[in-house]
Amino acid sequence: MEFLDYESLRFIWWALVGILLIGFAIMDGFDLGVAMVHPFIGRNDGERRVLMNSIGPTWDGNQVWLILGAGAVLAAWPTVYAVAFSGLYAALLIVLFSLFLRPVAIDYRSKLENSTWRSFWDWSLFVSGVVPALIFGVTFGNLLQGVPFHFDDTMRSFYTGTLAELLNPFALLVGLVSVSMLVMQGASFLMIKTEAPIYQRAAVTAKISALLTVILFVVAGYWVASGIDGYQVVSGLSHNGPSNPLLKEVSMVTGSWMNNFQSAPALWIVPALAVIGALAVIVIRRDGLRFIASGISVAGVVATAGVAMFPFVLPSSTHPAQSLTMWDGSSSEQTLYLMLIAALIFVPLILAYTAWVFRVLRGRVTVAHIRENDHAVY
């Protein structure tokens, strides 16, 4: 692959990281969605066990997408990883500890036949879904506004924000977009894994959350276009140059996050997929196609943010010129090249294994199945 220069490798890894994040949002997204609706769609103990067993065999495999995404950011954009994981440390710890609750709740809930015990773990599972979904969305909302950090002359990063500042109105709106779209994803998944009456409740939930996703996504888009200062490179950025974010000039202009869509109108298909996919969830009658439509909507929402911010990865609200882009925040050319070889080998293997697992575990989970296999299920 000698034809791949530094510029091409940087762009490829921008796309690959985006694909990994979309993979996480789609695959682990329905786990988070099921966790969020667990106490509401499941009306009794048997039904709640059905919901847990719908994701029980696959949630840990789906979690691989998050690990892959974080690992790819570390290897491809080490400076971005260092700034984000140190500056946003408190928020990420909250996500991490909330994610701990999911395996514990799934494994321990049915150990005791006690209503208080099981209710506690039911709501713990709910927390393990809603907290990460909300915070991931809030994080994207803050990225679109810029994160308060800067570098000194020795490239040491300094984060000057607080956890409370992350919970601003626009970021919370994006957080609600994340919550609603993952509830849609989880409810759509339940429609291919459960039977009545859970199925009917999941259908209503999927339609309501799909409509909310469209409304909130459009409102957030309008806010970005009319009320959020976007970032644009003025000069000094080399696509093949060194990874030094101190060499460019950046301006902030309201609505400039829409520049990529205006300069390449074909990119409007990305946010259109987010809306069309969610609307399809409402009108499609076939369960499998509905789940695919939900996944397309989720992919469209995540990709819209990436396309809008391109080439920025981590904008700085306090020192815009020191914002990190895919061109000046990446690893070396050799590192990106070796990582690409590894990705071409292992990502297809992961996809093949995931497809095989879901084929083996296809079929609906029922209360009767839970009762007949009580010793082997959650």
Q: What average pLDDT is seen over the chain? A: 93
CA distance 270 to 286: 24
Token pair for residue 378? 């959650």
pLDDT confidence of residue 1: 53
CA distance 38 to 50: 10
Nearest to 130, CA basis, from 175, 93, 170, 89: 175
CA distance 362 to 338: 36
Stated pTM of the model: 0.93
pLDDT digits (tens, 9 = 90+) for 214-233: 999 999 999 999 999 999 99
List all residues 6 or more positions away from 334 whose beta carbon is below 8 Å from its beta carbon. Answer: none
pLDDT digits (tens, 9 = 90+) for 16-42: 999 999 999 999 999 999 999 999 999
Q: Is residue 364 left, alpha or beta, with left meaning phi > 0 and alpha meaning psi from -120 to 50? A: beta
* Arithmetic mean of pLDDT, 56-75: 88
Domain 6-372 homologous superfamily, CATH: Formate dehydrogenase/DMSO reductase domain (1.20.1630.10)
